[in-house]
Amino acid sequence: MIRVRAGAATDVGRVRSINQDCLLVTDTLWAVADGMGGHAAGDVAARVAVDTLQERFDSGGGSSGLVSAIRAANSAVFERARADAGLRGMGTTLTVVADVSADGGGDELVVANVGDSRAYILQNHELSQLTADHSLVEELVRAGELTPREAAGHPQRHIVTRALGIDPDIEVDTWTLAPHPGDRFLVCSDGLSNEVDDDGLTRVLRDEPDAQAAADRLIEMARSHGGTDNITAIVLDVLGVDAGAAASPGAADGDGGPSDASPPTEAFAAPVQPGVAPAVGGPAVDPPAVDPPTLLTPAVDAPPVAPARGPVPAPRVDDLIAPAPGPAPAAATRQRSRRFTFRVALFLIALLVVIGGAAAAVVWYARNSYFVGLQSGQLVIFQGRPGGLLGLNPTPVQYTGVTTSQVPPTSVTDLRKGMAESSRTTARHYVCNLVSEYNQAQAAQGGTTAPMPAWCPVVSGP
Ligand code: MG
């Protein structure tokens, strides 16, 4: 089992009047949810997600068990929003570090993420971001449309592209880690990561040995940098790893080891404050339709995102990858070697070439396709295929500023499905034509026309 000590703090910040972040700290679960939605809906979304996660999580269920619990949390938020008109459109991020080592299941931690709350790891004094944000600007950065510097100050950096409660199903990214004593994790909402850069986070996490004091200092730093959003931080120190030991519920403090330092083992969450506030992080957008996770999704133990810095030894990247179950016996390995003939090698090479070629063709096809779809009622040009292709999800490459009320109503059904176009230019022409068609109909009826996007070709007068 894994012995840890956690410190946690949450704060409404200096601008918002209500805290829509929610955190969870138990013996085996450490989670941050950042709710979004009008009025108090964001609170409800975050609270429902965290409560359901805690209720459904089984520390012996491994990575897939954690994903099931998060999917149950998504369903709970979705159903709650559907049942209550006052909560329509609410959603929440959810970032979790979970100990799945119970019942002799090994010594693994699993990190799971939906949205733009983050998990980091500090190893050898170096900070690495474990999760990849599901946010508009980060997807534009990944598509090469924005630089990281442009993303940092981007006015739409709060818009998330994936959140719990928006769709009946949800795709969850997971990473499996083998923790070591001395590892320190940070789970936080964007109210911290948007205000404090990596250097600031590293400084506090490296210099403050006490987990609770570190969490408190991070909150204070975000407040001093503006505190424009709710701020939440969980700092998790790995004290020891008893590989192979079967854990029993409630036995965390039973060996007199460092865990006797009384980590906050009871579950607690940020208090829900009454009141009305603008949505945290802006309105949730309708994420592109996604297929269930496939072999090509980041769920296959993606590496840390941030690069290592400085002259210290490189982080133990190999330790971040879950070990394959059990090495093969030496005798079996030798026997296989004798049978490894030239013909077999040739066959394997040919197979790899075919598989590689097929994979390259799929990637090329997905990356060289465009379509016009909808997000939150706005026409958006996506790169990729509607609904995704073998785990390659479409990426928004241009928000047109044109809404569904500015195009012929008959086109909306096609837009919902996604109108495939051969290039980004033809996709733009399609949008321009729709607005033009709408304006002609309006002009004929003496109605109000819609403004043409600036990038549409100018039609000269007669
Ligand atoms: Mg936030």
pLDDT of residue 294: 24
User: 401 is written with which tokens?
Assistant: 């500023």
Tell me the three state secondary structure of residue 248.
coil
Query: Would you call 279 helix, strand, or coil by DSSP?
Result: coil
CA 359–ligand 1 middle distance (angstroms): 37
d(Cα 409, Cα 437) in Å, to the nearest integer?
A: 11
Nearest CA to 81 out of 150, 165, 171 is that of 165
Residues found in the chain:
462
Q: How far is CA 199 from CA 14, 206, 212, 306, 310, in A?
A: 22, 10, 20, 12, 12
Handedness of CA 96, 100, 106, 112 (dihedral sign): negative
Give dist(CA 428, CA 411) in Å, integer.
Answer: 15
Beta strands at 126-129 and 109-114: parallel, antiparallel or unpaired: unpaired
Query: Closest Cα partner for 7 from 179, 204, 228?
Result: 204
For position 243, what pLDDT does the model report? Answer: 58
Other Cβ atoms closer than 10 A to 39 = 16
Q: How far is the CA of 282 from the centre of ligand 1 (A)?
A: 9
101 CA from centroid of ligand 1 (Å): 31
CA of residue 159 to ligand 1 center, whole Å: 10
Among 302, 316, 301, 307, which Cα is nearest to 182's? 316
The neighbour count for residue 209, using CB atoms within 10 Å, is 9
In the chain, count of helices (H) and strands (E)? 11, 15
Q: In what order do the strands lie in the sheet with 118-123?
A: 2-11, 231-241, 184-188, 118-123, 126-129
| Phi and psi at residue 203, to the nearest 5° | -60, -50
Centroid of ligand 1 to alpha carbon of 144 (angstroms): 25
User: Residue type at 215?
Assistant: A
What's the confidence (pLDDT) of residue 39?
Answer: 65
Distance 193 CA to ligand 1 centre (A): 9
Which of 164, 93, 79, 76 has the alpha carbon at shortest distance from 132? 93
Ligand 1 centre to CA of 93 (Å) is 9
Looking up tokens 């210290």, which residue turns up? 312
- The token pair at 106 is 């090994």
pLDDT digits (tens, 9 = 90+) for 390-447: 778 888 888 898 999 999 999 998 899 999 988 888 898 999 999 999 999 999 989 8
Rounded (10°) angle between helices 211-224 and 198-207: 150
pLDDT of residue 104: 56
Going from the Cα of 420 to the center of ligand 1, the distance in angstroms, rounded, reads: 34
Residue by residue, pLDDT tens for the chain (462 residues) are 789 999 999 999 999 999 999 999 999 999 999 999 876 799 999 999 999 999 999 988 889 999 999 999 999 999 999 999 999 989 999 999 999 877 555 678 999 999 999 999 999 999 999 999 999 988 888 888 888 888 877 888 888 999 999 999 999 999 999 999 999 999 999 999 999 999 999 999 999 999 999 999 999 999 999 999 999 999 999 998 875 543 333 333 333 333 333 333 333 443 333 322 222 333 333 333 332 222 223 343 344 443 333 332 222 222 222 323 333 333 333 333 344 567 778 888 888 888 888 878 877 777 778 999 998 889 999 998 888 877 788 888 888 989 999 999 999 988 999 999 888 888 989 999 999 999 999 999 898 899 888 888 775 444
For ligand 1, a single-atom ion, which residues have Cβ within 5 Å? 34, 189-191, 229, 280-281
Long-range contacts: 350-357, Cβ < 8 Å, 24+?
none
Sign of the C-alpha dihedral, residues 246, 250, 254, 256?
positive
Taking the centre of ligand 1 as the mean of its atom positions, its distance from the CA of residue 232, in whole angstroms, is: 9
Residue 386 to residue 372: CA distance in whole angstroms: 9
Which pairing describes strands 184-188 and 91-92: parallel, antiparallel, or unpaired? unpaired
Cα of 333 from ligand 1 centre, angstroms: 51
d(CA 339, CA 243): 35
CA 208 to chain CA centroid, Å, is 27
Terminal Cα distance for the chain, rounded: 79
Q: What is the pLDDT of residue 103?
A: 57
CA of residue 272 to ligand 1 center, whole Å: 15
**pLDDT tens digit string along 226-238?**
999 999 999 999 9
56 close to 69: Cβ distance less than 8 angstroms:
yes
Q: What is the DSSP string of 303-325?
A: PPSSPP-SSSPPP-GGGGSPPPS
Cβ atoms of residues 25 and 234 within 8 Å: yes
